[in-house]
Each structure stands twice: as structure tokens, then as C-alpha cells.
Structure 1
Amino acid sequence: MTTPATKINFRENQNEGIIEQLQDVDFALKMKNAVDVQLIDTNLYMCKELWLPWGARGAFGGQVVAQALRAAWDTVDEEFFVHSLHSYFILACSVEMPVIYRIQRVRDGKSYATRTVTALQKGKAIFICSCSFVKPDDSVTLSHQVSGKSGSNYVQLMICQTPMPRTVDPETLTSDIEVLKNTLAITESVPESVRKITQKRINEVRLPSSLIAQLHAHNFNQDLAIDSRAVRTLSPQQVISGRVEPSPHSQRWFKTRGLLNDDMKLHACIIAYASDSGFITTAAAAHGHLINSKGLGMLASLDHSIWFHYPAARADEWLLYDVFSPQADNGRAIVFGKIYNQNGNLVATTAQEGILRISQREQEKRKKTAACL
């Protein structure tokens, strides 16, 4: 039995199916390649690489969203910037072959341009996305940012910018990779199944020893191209058990590990990429389940929407992702997210519905509990 590759490259359409061998790590370049696409014909693009997260059935959904956005963006005039996208995940994306993105140029107007993207594998649609782009508006416009509280006078009182939710400084938090490493350090209590999947995740970001020494000298952690830090840090025991205190709300900080250039299209695509990370899992956490919980049967994204509010947002500076899951039923759950920069600007708003099913074992357990009541 072979272990599937965690990251597949399709650059230059050569060496398909070969895992990238990292010699020198340029985190900015890694992130740029993760969301980039290459033109293969008019209105046809191909991904450069795909990433298979640990425990996932297919390639990371946020990467497909970002690549679809990048492909669509390549077909509009330079002065246009994305303001929204709405997408559906149809089939799991295989990492064994590249994704082809087919663009339909729906409309080119004076102020707005619309594109539809169909992501294909083996001739079948695995993902569809509608993207809308807008020219900058230099006129005087109405502007407000409120927290969403009710009350007839609230918008009037808070017409000026409302600060982002109160939270802790990202520099004081533990990175996701460090949480996994801390879990592995408890050798006596880690089940072999959890150890294998945790070690696999750490191996995905293993760096050359010379570079590790440099990073430690600069007080950096070994991490993915995106540094993600949950405000509610998981303990090793929680990671092992797959259970947490139920909460429908989660917060995490994220940014790229490397500094990016000033291509704001790249920054927006990376924000789209990161917007799918730890998103629908908030709905599972509302019931006390982590992604590795034995009580979970299936957790998968069905659709994903993003509204971009702040074209100047940089993905290489800390962004706060504030997520809330208001409802789950009938095997589905919904989550809403708000992304803020450290100045308190609401950068983007997100929404997603996903499949949320408990395992057969958990169903039987709950039936027995209900029967005893």
C-alpha cells in the first residue's frame, strides 16, 4: 500500500505526479505557486500544483477556489479588481492529475465584468465558480462598518469604523504546526494512528537542517507557507481525543510566511485560499468534534462565497479570521466568517455550507442514550 503524495506539481506540464523536493525554501514563492495557473489555450488554464491535506479525501478546496479566481482574473482588464465570488464543490479533486480551468466570459461592462469558471478533471466538472470584478470607484460614496448588532440607532451611532473583535496578539499564540509537534512529544499517550497522521503533517513542511538553524536564529517556527494560529490553542490531549469544549465560534490569525510583492491580485487570491482553512470545521467544533474525532463520519464543503471589501489587504500581514456557525441540521451545516486586518478594517466576508455527518458508531451511541431517557 502506497502513501499518497501530499503535494503534486504540474509545472510546465512535465514530471506529473512527482512530489516536489525542497532544497531551498522560498515561502513567498511556495505560496505564489500554490495559487497560480498557467495558460494552455484561449480561456483554458491549468494548475501548477495541488496539495492534499492530511485526512482529506481530495485536494485542498481553498486552493481550487484561489486558482479558479486567478484564472478568471487573467481574462479581465488590469484596472478591474474582484469584489465577490460564489462557488460549488461538485466532486473531490484528485491530486493525481492537474485541474483544467475553463473560463466563460459572461460580461464585460464599463464598471463590472463577470466570469464563470468550470474546473475539470477527466472531462468532468469538479467545481464551478462565478466571479465578479469591478473598476475602482473614485467618487464620494456611502461608507460604514458595523458589528451587526440590532437597534434602530446603532448604524447611526456606529457609522464610523467599528473595531474588529477583541482578541489576543497573534505573536503570543502557538502555530498549528507547533501544536502538532507538542502532541507528538507526549510519546506514551499518542495512539499510533494519531501519531502517523500527525507526523505526516509535520513531514509536509520539513525543511533542510541548515535552514532550520537560520529560522530558529530568527525565532521562527517550521511551518507551512501560511502561518496559521488559532486563538483557542488546542492541548495535546484535545488533539489526541479529537474532542473540544463545544463552541460555535472560532478565531484564528493567519499570514504568509514570506513577504510578497505588491501584486494585490496575488494577495486577494491567497486570502481566498486561506478562507477555506478551518472554516466548516467550526460547525463540527460547535458539537465538540475536531476533524479527527471518531464521532465524525463526513465533513466536506459544498459551496463557498467570498465578498472582498478592501483591495489594499495584504496576505503577508496578520489577518484575523472570525468564524461563527449559527446552524446545523439534516447532515449539513453553515458557517459565516469575517476577515479583519490589524487596523480593524473588514477585509472580506465569507460564507459556506458543508456536509456534517456523525459516524455510524456515534449514531448508535446517541440512539442508545436517547432510548434510556
Structure 2
Amino acid sequence: MSTLIRPPPLNLSQSAIENVLELTQLSDIDPDLFTNTRPLWHPPGARGIFGGAAISQTLAAAQRTVPEDFTVHSMHCYFVLAGNSEIPIIYHVERVRSGKSFATRTVQARQRGKVIFTTTISFVRQNAGGDKLVEHSTEMQKDIPGPVEDMDDMDYGGNSTGPFQSQRIEILNNDSPHPHTKKCRQWIKARGRITGGHEAHLAALAYMSDSYFIGTIARTHKLWRYSAARKSNTKSSIDEDVLKKLLAMDDADLKRVKFLDEGDIERIRKLKNGREEQEPRPEIGMMVSLDHTIYFHDPRGFRADEWMFTEMETPWAGDGRGLVFQKMFSRDGKLIATCVQEGVVRLRQANESKL
């Protein structure tokens, strides 16, 4: 079973993302134990559940153990094992410290007695900084194409059944030979209207912060992200299911898919025509997140159900790993969060041609 307790009917007065992230408190066992109320999403071809679910639900659990005037300002997460969407997750909150200005919580997500995800979260009391403040903030780039209402990219997070919408825009400096100079950009927002308080918006932002994050490295290097395993015995790659959808499209439809570049479209044409490339492009063999950090800059001053702009760049990749930075802005240009993620990024090797 994928939940510990039978899920209740969907609450139609709430947004889709609030229903997805709903927690059940196991107060009869321990007031600091929680579990997922509803089944968690396992993206097609991925090793486990969507990482954003663990990030957001551990935050949601921790938020329920601090006073109302305390708000999250940072969380530092580690993905330990792939989460199984067929098994309930138990979240255990440890109250490390409850001070006058700051509170610290650690949360472990467990399945079958093993830790699959762990995070340390820090909360700060509202207005603890005093009346006089040191303030500055980076600005959002000017002249960014705005989002288009009622339109989603064809992607895992933004399809018609997903809890949030996603629209990618053109990669900045995409023609540069230097991946570290490029910036991958998208608009995101929760689908529908979030009816909960600021905690619900923070959990939703945490969920969406994992959208395409480590994939920035593949995009800036223009790596082939779709498996051609249908023609061989090779291991399936991350986006094999997406490839099947792309192969069914004609050229006009392919050109409307925002996350494809011209190189992607050309290779899809060759695959459709049964032609192999003489010099195949490097292909992702494994891409998984290792850790994830979020710094919340204005945790009570934004809405996650309104369009937010994200800008991702990668300063380094090597030794089978890569690092990505992400800035998240409200539509009016206010910086609301900064995120950092490191992940495993390995190319398919020649000796992986057999299972």
C-alpha cells in the first residue's frame, strides 16, 4: 500500500498541490510523527518519488512543531535512498532547539526502517531583526518574456494532471561554448488557488523548487536526455517515456515544445526515420539529486499560486557530479528564495550497452 491510512476524498476547496502534500499526524503514536496522506508521484523513468515531495513534506511536518510567529528561513536536505511510491513514508521531527529568536528542527523520512531523506530546518521569529536592518537584494533581469496563461510545457511537472504549471523560456547565452555562462529559465506556479496560510505556500514553493533543477547541467551541455533503449538492450534513461511522446509528434508539434533545442529535434527526426548518427551525442546515463538547500528570503510575502520566475545556472561539473544555483523571484521581481543543489551526473558509458 502507498499510504499508511486510507486516503480521504480529495478536498475540492483546496488546490491540487495542497491535496498532494497533505500530511497525517500520527499523534496516537507520537505527536512528532507524520505520514503522507495520499500516494506520492513517481516520475516515469526516475529511480524513485519526485524529490520535491520529500522536501516539501518534511518542511510541512516541521512547520507544525513551531510557534505561529516562527517562520522557516533555511533548510538543508540530503537524498539518501530512492523513495518507493508503493510504501508509506514516516516523517519524524526532532525538536533540536527552541530559542527566543531561532528554532531548529531535523526531520527524517523513513521507509521500511531506513532513512531515505533527511533535513535540518531553521526557523526565525518574526521581526527578530529589530527596527533597523541591513538590506539588499539582487534584481531580476529585465525584458523577460512573461508567462502565457493556460499553457504548459509538455513536461513532468506541468502536464494537465500535475499540481503545478511550468513554462520554460529560451536559455540565456545558449550559443555560448561555456556551460557556466548559461542560464536556464522558467515560470512556475501552483495550479488552482491555495487556500491555506503561508505554510501552504512555503511547502508548495519547496515542492516546485526541484523542478528541472539538476537537469540544468544536461541542458547547458546540450546532452541527449532521451533514451533510444526501444531499439536495443541498453538501460532505459531518465526520459524514455517523454521520448515516446516526442516520436509521435510531427515537425510542427515538435517546434512548439519549448524544452527542445534544434539539436534535439534533428536527432528525433533521425530516430523516427530509423537513421543512427555517425557521431552520437553524449547521453545521460544517470542523473539524481544528492542534496538540496533552500534559503527563504520573504517567506510570508509571496503566493505560490501566482507566477514565479526561476533562473538556474551551474558554476561547476566534474567527477560525475554537478552543482546548480537557482534564484526564485515573484512576478514583480522580488527575490523570494535561493536554492542550491548538487547531484550525480554521469554519461552513458560504452560498457553499458548490455543489461
Question: What TM-score do the two structures reach when normalised by structure 2?
Answer: 0.74
Whichever residue aligns with residue 140 of structure 1, its letter is K
Residue 88 of structure 1 contacts residue 304 of structure 1 at CA under 8 Å; is this kept in 2?
yes
- CA shift in 2, pair 1:246/1:258, >3 Å: farther
What is the aligned partner in structure 2 of residue 14 from structure 1? 6
Following the alignment from structure 1 to structure 2, what is the Cα–Cα distance between the partners of residues 165 and 290? 31
Q: Does 1:227 align with 2:165?
A: yes
1:144 pairs, out of 111, 136, 147, with 136
What is the aligned partner in structure 2 of residue 59 from structure 1? 49
Gaps of 5+ in 2: 172-176, 229-282
Deviation at 1:291, TM superposition (A): 3.7
Q: Quote the RMSD (CA, aligned, Å).
A: 2.8
Deviation at 1:343, TM superposition (A): 1.3
2:148 pairs, out of 171, 177, 197, with 171
Question: What TM-score do the two structures reach when normalised by structure 1?
Answer: 0.70
Residue 2 of structure 2 contacts residue 87 of structure 2 at CA under 8 Å; is this kept in 1?
no
Q: Which has the higher helix share?
A: 1
Residue 27 of structure 1 contacts residue 225 of structure 1 at CA under 8 Å; is this kept in 2?
no
Deviation at 1:47, TM superposition (A): 1.1
Following the alignment from structure 2 to structure 1, what is the Cα–Cα distance between the partners of residues 48 and 32? 25
Following the alignment from structure 2 to structure 1, what is the Cα–Cα distance between the partners of residues 322 and 188? 24
- CA shift in 2, pair 1:336/1:166, >3 Å: farther
Following the alignment from structure 2 to structure 1, what is the Cα–Cα distance between the partners of residues 149 and 350? 39
1:1-373 aligned at under 5 Å gives the runs: 10=3, 13-14=5-6, 26=12, 28-40=14-26, 41-49=30-38, 50-137=40-127, 139-146=131-138, 162-164=139-141, 166-171=143-148, 174-177=151-154, 222-232=160-170, 248-261=182-195, 263-289=197-223, 291-293=225-227, 295-311=283-299, 312-361=301-350
Following the alignment from structure 1 to structure 2, what is the Cα–Cα distance between the partners of residues 27 and 223? 17
Residue 52 of structure 2 contacts residue 209 of structure 2 at CA under 8 Å; is this kept in 1?
yes
Whichever residue aligns with residue 148 of structure 2, its letter is E
| Aligned residues with identical type, % of pairs | 37
The ranges of structure 1 where at least 4 consecutive aligned residues each deviate by more than 6 angstroms after the TM superposition are none
Q: What is the number of residues matched between the two proteins?
A: 285
- CA shift in 2, pair 1:30/1:307, >3 Å: same
Gaps of 5+ in 1: 1-7, 147-161, 181-200, 206-221, 234-244, 365-373
Deviation at 1:33, TM superposition (A): 2.1
Q: Deviations over 1:150-203 (max 9, x none)?
A: xxxxxxxxxxxx3445410111795223xx6xxxxxxxxxxxxxxxxxxxx69x
Residue 304 of structure 1 contacts residue 353 of structure 1 at CA under 8 Å; is this kept in 2?
yes
Whichever residue aligns with residue 188 of structure 2, its letter is F
